[in-house]
Amino acid sequence: MFLLLRRAIVKWWSSAPWLTLCVLLAALYVFGYAMMRWKEPASNPIRSLSTYTYFFVVTVATVGYGDVVPLSLAGRLTAGAIAIGGIGAAAVALGQIFSSIGSYVRRREKGLLGFDMKGHIVIFGNRGAETAALIRCLIADQQSSGTAIVLCSHSTEQNPFPDFIDFVRGEPTSADVLTRARVKDAGKIIIHAGTDYESISIALAVKEINQSAPIVVRANDPGKEVDIERVDRNRVVCIKAVDVPMIVREIHNPGITQVLENLLSSQGQDLRCLQVPGGDHKFSFGLLAHNFREQHGAILIGMRPAGNALNSGSILNPGFHAVVEGGMFLDYISQRPINIDWVKMRRTTAS
């Protein structure tokens, strides 16, 4: 009989611990008030419901000011029972609170919780060190500052960066993972899957619930890039090279990888450089850039000190009044190499 009662109490407590605790305290409160009304002298103010309630609270809280006390033996025994019950209730409550906090932290680190956020970055897949480098780059990037990041992966057991990102564990294409990661409200999507077929599946799943976020995919096979981008030609961009910073650039600046690919291709515009003749030539970079654009259809983007062109540090997009001297190297973008009449240039743009 005792074992059955014990099992029933344990089952009741495990199913509703806070309700059980409140019921026990309420029973102690009612029992204590009944004893005070029954055993305490009529002159003792503790018989008043309001005064007894005050006494019960300070006793359960183990404060015990001593301004209201029972006078009878039965009343004092009851007060002792209330004090012991209060200490037990406090210990149980604190234990339950810490247990709940610990359970929440463990579930969060294991990716079992859901999140409520908008405009965040969702990363699908974990490629080990490469994905870790991607996350570090996103955290350090100024454009990602303050933006929440959620990693979704079925092969990762716990959050690799618990202090910086959130984690959802499960099959990336499942409705549960897409819901818990709030993909429908995400601002940017990165697909870092192990295979291109998985990338296509994830991109299709994302497309169904998010109609606006740009999707950057780490392509594994160059032959599959067309198939991946066919999912949504307006939003899906494949990064061909294993270049983590390039993924970060693309997610914040949609289409930038195409610009860089065009610059590095053998057709169209290209990055070029030329050297300013030696001597006492001095030019304003801003005026020089204007002349490059107007007279030669070229875009001047930077300059390098005179000396060894390979070892000199490049200064990209310097100020308008930056001084370009003889012997320095100029970096520019144009369809073909340009020839500069430096004597004429000096007459028109010399600073």
Which residue type occupies 167? Answer: F
pTM of the model: 0.61
Q: What percent of the chain clears pLDDT 70, i.e. is strictly above it?
A: 89
User: What is the chain's alpha carbon radius of gyration, rounded to the nearest angstrom?
Assistant: 36
Neighbours of 215 (CB within 10 A): 28
Residue among 281, 288, 284 nearest 322 (CA): 284
Neighbours of 140 (CB within 10 A): 10
Residues paired with residue 303 on neighbouring β-strands, in sequence order:
315, 330
Q: What's the pLDDT band for 15 if we cut at 50, 70, 90?
A: low
**Which H, E and C letters describe the chain, residue by residue?**
CHHHHHHHHHHHHHHCHHHHHHHHHHHHHHHHHHHHHHHCCCCCHHHCHHHHHHHHHHHHCCCCCCCCCCCCHHHHHHHHHHHHHHHHHHHHHHHHHHHHHHHHHHHHHCCCCCCCCCCCEEEECCCCHHHHHHHHHHHHCHHHCCCCEEEEECCCCCCCCCCCCEEEECCCCCHHHHHHCCHHHCCEEEECCCCHHHHHHHHHHHHHHCCCCCEEEECCCHHHHHHHHCCCCCCEEEECCCCHHHHHHHHHCCCHHHHHHHHHCCCCCEEEEEECCCCCCEEEHHHHHHHHHHHHCCEEEEEECCCCCCCCCCEECCCCCCEEECCCEEEEEECCCCCCCHHHHHHHHEC
The pLDDT tens digits of the residues spanning 35-54 come to 888 988 988 998 999 999 99
Query: Residue 85 has what pLDDT?
Result: 80
Assess contact for 194 and 127: CB atoms under 8 A. yes
The pLDDT tens digits of the residues spanning 173-219 come to 999 999 999 999 999 999 999 899 999 999 999 999 999 999 999 88
Query: Residue 3 has what pLDDT?
Result: 59
Q: What's the pLDDT band for 120 if we cut at 50, 70, 90?
A: very high
Query: Residue 201 has what pLDDT?
Result: 94
> What is the token pair recorded at 287?
């005026």
Neighbours of 248 (CB within 10 A): 20
Assess contact for 221 and 199: CB atoms under 8 A. no
Query: Residue 110 has what pLDDT?
Result: 87
The contacts found for 69-77 with CB under 8 angstroms, 24 or more apart, are 70/36, 70/39, 70/40, 70/44, 70/46, 71/40, 71/41, 71/44, 72/39, 72/40, 72/41, 73/39, 74/35, 74/38, 74/39, 75/35, 75/36, 75/39, 75/40, 75/44, 75/46
Q: What average pLDDT does the segment 256-262 reach? A: 73
More confident residue, 5 or 298: 298
